[in-house]
Structure 1
């Protein structure tokens, strides 16, 4: 028989990171203070572990946490010297909010406001560096772990931890308010917000760790947010480019796993299984983005469009893809882009040229710890008939991967090499 304490722990464990990030976002939206929101959310989780074993798990756990966290946040404010000023501001802001419909219960968990897109813009404050804006938003409002964010930036986890600490300290010292900016300020903050959405999608498309290779809750949320931004800022070519990139990439999903649940590389995918509706929508958006001139996402969308238009890997216009990666490197230089370009060079000029291009990147410390880099080398070495070297590269990729499905796939490739 399950004990009350175990039931409480199970209930808290069952609250997904997605829901926890909604809780935090709702608190940030209400109080305009990221640090206060984090402390209050943690206080509420601690209170649940202490209370639920005695009272039982509530019917709507997330709503209970929201109510408790709000109370904890107000208790913290009461202990501050600036009590009168801050509570007065909160009362004014609360009065400006429209009241909930009379038919809606105040404890309905679905009524916790999901205002993350607005809060993404709010958290991407220009006082912070753009990488700090992105990392802080991903960690606090999107619910990604520090490990996942470090993987996205190709930096060691301690480095990312330090960045997050510095960003939070800067927000605290400079008292940056987490407030939805005016319409005139949105374009300035747009690049960071687009990067946040893109990295949410990237983490969902190939999960850094865990038992699932694909996290559809993240890919779906990123596309949903991308569509909203596109409706709000349809004239921005980079917005169209990001949405096109996500849709063209998402279109491959039906062909990305085999019957055993193993990942299928792009070169081996059955393209007849790609979602043609998403492909057509993505191609149209990619053309719109290209008309606005080269940008980080419009160029990546153009690359994805070339893949989508090709019948197979051999008929892909690799020469054009290499040229587009050259443009992308000027716009957004980064190790992952350099790896992708090296792979494209290998497809255009042959595996020997590809290996030369890849090995030229090996001094990069970020890539040495990036398992897709070693996967790319392993595939190229196999094409050259260097089986033993390929096995070493597959083994190194396995050592670096944290995802269970990915590790099973890498083990199979190691045995087959």
Structure 2
């Protein structure tokens, strides 16, 4: 049976609900959300409607069961306050989008985006927002999966190229001089596909995107062209990497969702946070050390409430310099102010003397002022993002300084092993289990 599913409650009289269902037509089943002011019992509602009525303590599970068992194409909301609130409706919308079903109410409509099937085994790395460390985790995932496969990363970014661009990170070395040359041409040389190729030494295809929807889909992007290119390439595993809170509209074999212990909790529990979290096989909660264990555990608890089946990892980032810092006087430049001190201590543990720091990598005017004040350094240690090339690298080369890019390596603080979890997920995807 294919048709409409209605959400109903006990705050409407059964006759009123039946009247609305009759006007809709082609209603195959209903899900009862609760409330009992205007009904005797749920059996009264079932007798009056003459269609199956699903119910349960967990309305999301009941709704998913009803959609799957009845081949539902549209969910129509006939419920109302006080039984449902805005958070509940976004939870419903998140489920409907994940299952590819439209969700319609009196004055709203959420239409699912078609999620295409990739031509090869795939894993998607997506984020719940910007600056959660998604690219760092994506690079780590690619480096790890090189142990069991030949991965290819497909990125999408607001600074990406108009046409998909292949960067052969497996054989081509991305030097500061090469990246500076791109910047002089007006290119965004710190785009995610350059960062991934540099830090992971994997081949990467960079794509442009513009506009981000509420659920995470872009208005325009060129990812489809990149996927067509990937079909003919020798790589056996695709890694789709999102941009900010957006991600490619492909149904990957597995999902890794990256969030931060500093993320506003309502963005996880409400709006379309549940959609992004519900897709996940594995959730990485970053900034656990900076935010503090109590806050990190609170975020992990929200994740488990939304997606009980997800494997949750609490991690912190450690800078992994891509060059030798031992015995050098350096300036450290980052985007994350809260991560500056832990990064400084780690570089010093590697033998560097950190003379200056700047958290203004994504704020060009402030960054230029910081650079002008740096004195007595041998090298600049910088993340490859934001203004790392067009400002920092150009400034360093003009002043005869060494540029050492660094990667942010996720390190578990919960006793678990993100590496082993990623390998297990990769083996499952490559083996056709997902």
TM-score scaled to structure 2, two decimals? 0.25
Name the larger-Rg structure.
2
- Structure with bigger helix share is 1
Larger relative CO (CA 8 A, sep 6+): 1 or 2? 2
TM-score scaled to structure 1, two decimals? 0.26
